[in-house]
Copies of this chain bind each other. A is one copy, B any other.
């Protein structure tokens, strides 16, 4: 059975939606998803980089993120044909461990927590496929990288790209 490793943030968990909402509220700003085409929020407002990053360091930030549309249904279907691992760069935000674990248990109860991986450098992952929104993780990955579209990566080229979970389903179940 082939193995698919799947990133969390921006692939199954909607970081940008909550991050933008909190930022706009607290700084009376009106940044939209269209403004973020090809950019991260910190690139748009570099003078507020510390404030912007600080949201992610709050222990509860990751606990109530919205689930990316279609990810639950498609991953459940894929799990009948592939071995599924969730591989998240949690070491970048160590305060996020518990919230991320609880979120996964709540929204993906059909996956075993033995298949959750909290790491930093994803070259440690042994899998046939890696679905991720950060192309940098593909550099030393030995399987097939699949770039999941997110606002910040819209200008990246040279990768297999999927725009949503319907396209993930088509890629693997064709």
Query: In the assembled complex, which residues on chain B have CB atoms less than 8 Å from the CB atom of A119?
Result: 114, 116-119
Given contacts A112-B120, A120-B115, A97 and B91 within 8 Å (CB-CB): no
Residues of A within 8 A of B (CB): 3, 5, 85, 87, 90-91, 94-95, 97-98, 101, 112-121, 123-127, 142
Can you list 28 A-B pairs, Cβ within 8 angstroms, ordered by A? A87-B124, A90-B118, A91-B114, A91-B116, A94-B98, A94-B113, A95-B98, A97-B98, A97-B101, A97-B118, A112-B120, A112-B121, A113-B120, A114-B120, A114-B121, A115-B124, A116-B119, A116-B120, A117-B117, A117-B118, A117-B120, A117-B124, A118-B118, A118-B119, A123-B126, A124-B125, A124-B126, A126-B142
